[in-house]
Amino acid sequence: MTIVSDLFLTDSFLIKGEIERKYARLSQMLDEHRKYFVKVRNATLVDLNTCDRIQTPLLHVNTDEILLAHEFLDHAGDTQLAQMNRDTKMNKVRVFFTGHLNVEVGGECRPGAYEVDDRMTRRFFVLKNPAVRGFNAKDDQDLKLLFKLPYAIVNKTRLSYIYDFNE
């Protein structure tokens, strides 16, 4: 297992690496990204079916393929995370993704964060305390990371169903 800053889940792979030219937090960068592909340096791809690994110095990842993402960083002094935790009403939700992988993620988000008319996000929103289900980690340490994340950045264009338990 290598130390990386960014993690992505697609229908086929868990991708670890560092976003090239990252100018802001990963959630903001993905939400504002205007190109079809983000460049990931020092990428490791873990096949979700076989756990086979592919390593490459540069990988172009289509943002439409990203189901969820996470940025590993020190949360001490993180103003965005502090703002998320400050007296903001959070709704319990369970989201299901479109695609070949039958993934569902339960967690908490701002009310309506998954909607197109949400004024704080465009394509991606943050889900706190995610509980990922829908595939077997097969004792792979990298895949098991998905079950321990404090938050996940979710691609709302890839969602097929949402249970909002507060409506």
Residue 116 lies in a domain: yes
Residue 1 lies in a domain: no
Residue 17 lies in a domain: yes
Residue 122 lies in a domain: yes
Rounded to a whole number of angstroms, the CA Rg of the chain reads 15
Amino acid at 115: E
Residues 6+ apart with CB under 8 A from 145: 7, 14
Residue 83 lies in a domain: yes
pLDDT tens per residue across span 8-45: 999 999 999 999 988 888 999 998 888 899 999 999 99
Say whether pTM exceeds 0.75: yes
Query: Per the structure, how many domains does the chain have?
Result: 1
Residue 41 lies in a domain: yes
Q: Could you tell me the residue range of the domain that residue 87 belongs to?
A: 6-164
Q: Are the beta carbons of 165 and 91 closer than 8 angstroms?
A: yes
- Mean pLDDT for the chain? 89
Tokens 């909002």, residue located: 164
Residue 45 lies in a domain: yes
Largest CA distance in the chain: 46
Q: Are the beta carbons of 155 and 125 closer than 8 angstroms?
A: no
Residue 49 lies in a domain: yes
Q: Are the beta carbons of 97 and 103 closer than 8 angstroms?
A: yes
pLDDT tens per residue across span 122-150: 999 999 999 999 888 889 999 999 999 99
